[in-house]
Amino acid sequence: MTEARFIAKNEIHWNSLGDYNKRLAKHRSVKGLTSDEVREFAHLFRLASHHLAYAKTHFPAGEVVPFLNQLVGVSHNFFYVRERSSISDVWRYFTHTFPQTVRDTWHYWVVATAIFVVAAIFMGVFVIGEPERIDMLLPGFSRVHAPDITDTEYREWDHAFMTAFFITNNTAVAFNAFVWGILGGIGSIFILAYNGLIVGGLMGFLRQGGANMTVAYALILPHGVIELLAIFLSGGAGLMLGKGLLFPGEFARRHSIVYYARQAITLIPGIVVMLIIAAIIEGYFTPLDISARLKLSFAVLTGILFVAYIAGTRQKQCVNEKL
């Protein structure tokens, strides 16, 4: 086929695509088109792309190649345009995308939770037998007297500063639990287990020292429920990365990593918000001079609200589908 005949045969399609480009230039997106027009535009764009590949092969020095290059380039910008974020996108993420992803990936963060809890129980029992064993994690800690956790002087702090500190610290733990999953998940397992050992060891040390454990838990759980859930989700996301690397299945390894990484990263904005909420609670509510029972009740309430949030969005979605 000669170049002239190629042009004559396909020029009508290129003109139609050019007309769409002119219309889309006014709106900067395909929102101004009907559904049928969008399908036709997509068909013409793909067709022109094939024609460009054909022309580069058979008429590399012809005039049609630069023409099609420009035509397809303009169409490409409209076809793959990135819509600017809006309030509705943020709302949809927190009312649908995040809770749906939490539900879809439940087996990963359940495993992450189990790793942390088993490590905490093990170290708690280990330290109760001999308090000096806490030195394995915190050298020299056993020589410190168990703190008087009923002392209220610690409450006299800069709440805003401490909130910022907790956000930074908690985010670092969650980030490490996620990003080190790229080491086949081993990094995430280590971070989860290590932090579980620390928490369990400290609780065991306090118990062995005769501390009031109701008060101790009241100082941890009001913010700890949301904080730990965020860390478990981060650890689960890290385990996803590990699975993508070690068990690609029918995917190529690089495609498997990209697939699981995208799913894991979807959780990150929600995890960040959870950590901010936990830090605010830790900075402002936890230090309040109120009864331990009230604080523990608040902790239970945060757990119930989180479960209701994750499960409630699913029920709402099912209702909408039925309607």
Rounded CA gap, 97 and 107, in Å? 17
Alpha carbon of 83 to those of 29, 98, 282: distances in Å?
8, 20, 37
Query: Residue 136, Cα to own-chain centre: how many angstroms?
Result: 33
228-245 residue pLDDT tens: 999 999 999 999 999 888
User: What angle, rounded to 10 degrees, do the helices at 35-58 and 3-27 form?
Assistant: 140
For 34-61, the pLDDT digits (tens) are 878 888 888 998 999 999 998 888 888 8
Domain boundaries, the chain: 3-79, 88-322
The string of pLDDT tens digits covering residues 198-218 is 888 888 888 887 878 888 888
The more confident residue out of 88 and 221 is 221
* Token code pair at residue 155: 């409450």
Q: Which residues contact 107 (CB under 8 A, 6 or more apart)?
A: none
Number of other residues whose CB lies within 10 A of the CB of residue 28: 13
pTM, full prediction: 0.67
Q: Categorize the per-residue pLDDT at 30 as very low, low, confident or very high, splitting at 50, 70 and 90.
A: low
The answer to whether 323 and 249 have CB atoms below 8 angstroms apart is no
- What is the Cα–Cα distance from 266 to 260, expressed in whole angstroms? 10
Phi-psi region of 251 (alpha: psi -120 to 50; beta: other; left: phi over 0): beta
Kindly calculate the radius of gyration of the chain based on its CA atoms and give it in whole angstroms.
29
Higher pLDDT, 27 or 20: 20
Residues 191, 177: Cα–Cα separation, whole Å: 6
| pLDDT given for residue 323 in this prediction | 37
**Helix ranges, 28-86 (H):** 35-58, 64-79
Tokens 């981060």 belong to 234
315-318, long-range: CB within 8 Å, 24+ apart, which pairs? 317/96, 317/100
Q: How far apart are CA 231 and CA 173, in angstroms?
A: 7
pLDDT single digits (tens) 258-291: 888 888 999 999 999 999 999 899 888 888 888 9
Q: How confident is the model at residue 316 (pLDDT cuts 50, 70, 90)?
A: very low
- Residue 175: the pLDDT is 86
18, 35 Cβ separation under 8 angstroms: no
In angstroms, the Cα distances linking 12 to 18, 40, 60, 72 are 10, 13, 21, 15
Least confident of 10-19, 46-55, 245-254: 245-254
* Four-CA torsion 53, 59, 63, 66, nearest 10 degrees: 30
Q: E strand or H helix at 265, and its extent?
A: helix 253-265
Burial of 146 (0-12, 13-18, 19+ CB in 10 A): middle
Q: How confident is the model at residue 163 (pLDDT cuts 50, 70, 90)?
A: low
